[in-house]
Structure 1
């Protein structure tokens, strides 16, 4: 029972720090969050745990906060700012992947203790790196477009929950499908039955976390920062 309780605290910590980052630093804080969250999510995902009898990887909560950041930017600052944040996150992920792969090539000194754990964390197989980068790129830009589309059709202030959940739930479905297909199906790491279980459980937990994040985004939307457009209207 420890993992579920700790997992709840883990999720709340992510949400609280997300709110604090935006409260303290405004739009710049959201960009900073996207930058380090893309990297941390791909480190967290290397750890496997068991919860409710299901084996899963970490990283789902941190990854969900990326959608929270892009949706909040889209809501308060406009689609262009949300797209810029997605590019920023993609660059952060690409640069960190490339630099860490170069780091591993160095011949370690004989008393070095870091090479082996670094290889386990960052020595990803090519298709895993490709899966992560592709899934992020496709799903995040899809989320921005879906949110903008939903905002035109559900523009009311009290329809915010429709916009954030509608865009995120569909985008994360695509994200899970792209990642699991490239990482596990194309190289035939698992049989179809195992692949399907991984895909469904991954998406299920992302879905639950996304729904749980709704009140967090409502709280964030009420924050007033110095870099907001006048009268709280999003920029074009």
Structure 2
């Protein structure tokens, strides 16, 4: 039960921090957050935990905040800024992957105590990097397009929760499908489906939980 309660607290802290970032730094803060969250999510995803009777990876919450950030950008500044943020996150993740793989090639000093730990974490990232990068790019673009389409067809002063949940839940489903199909290619079907299902359930919960935070962000007065 500790993990579940701590996970809920963890989610509240993550979503609150993005609001603080946006409140202080405005649109620039959201761009920075997206770059940071894509990197942190791919580090956290290497840790497995038990949640709600399921084995799941960490990283789903911080990854979900990237979708919240693009939705805020889309809502308040338009589709083009949201697309720019997607590409920023994409290239940030590529840069981190390349730099850490190069860093691991240095021969550590005899007094070094972190090489093994770094190798354990970052040697796994290339295995999931392709799946993660493609899933991120495809799902974020779909999120931006769906959000913009709903926004254009429904009154902009209403149905914010429809835009947010409709775009994020569909894009997260696509994200999970692309990522698990690539990262867990060759895994037996029953195991693959369990990974796919549990991952999406967690992302679905995260997507629903970020809605109140989008309403708060919409009230912040930052210039166009």
- Relative to the length of structure 2, the TM-score reads 0.97
Please name the residue that 1:214 is paired with: 211
* Alpha-carbon contact 2:46-2:124 (below 8 Å) kept: no
CA displacement at 1:173 relative to structure 2: 0.4
Greater mean deviation of Cα atoms: 119-128 or 83-92: 119-128
1:127–1:182 contact (8 Å) kept in structure 2: no
Cα separation, 2, equivalents of 1:77 and 1:150: 15
1:196 aligns to 2:193 (yes or no): yes
- TM-score for both structures, normalised by structure 1: 0.93
- Pairwise CA RMSD of aligned residues? 1.0
The match for 2:57 is 57
Matches within 5 A, 1:1-236: 1-124=1-124, 126-185=126-185, 188=186, 190-225=187-222, 228-229=223-224
Shift of residue 202, structure 1, vs aligned partner: 0.4
Structure 1: gaps of 5 or more residues: 230-236
Name the counterpart of 1:233: none
Shift of 1:110: 1.6
Deviation at 1:177, TM superposition (A): 0.3
Q: Residues 127 and 43 (structure 1 numbering): CA distance in 2 closer, same or farther, change over 3 Å?
A: closer
Question: In structure 2, what is the Cα distance between the partners aligned to 1:11 and 1:164?
Answer: 17
1:127 Cα offset (Å): 3.9
Structure 2: stretches of 5+ with no match in the other structure: none
Structure 1 Cα separation of the partners of residues 181 and 155 of structure 2? 35
Q: Is the 8 A contact 1:45 1:58 kept in 2?
A: yes
Pair 1:125–1:58, CA change in 2 (3 A): closer
Does structure 2 conserve the Cα–Cα contact (< 8 Å) formed by 1:154 and 1:162?
A: no
Worse-superposed segment, 125-134 or 163-172: 125-134
Contact 2:97–2:126 (8 Å) recurs in 1: no
Q: 1:156 to 1:77 in 2, by over 3 A?
A: closer
Deviation at 1:154? Answer: 1.6
Contact 2:165-2:208 at 8 Å conserved across structures: yes
Distance 2:127 2:108 in 1: 26
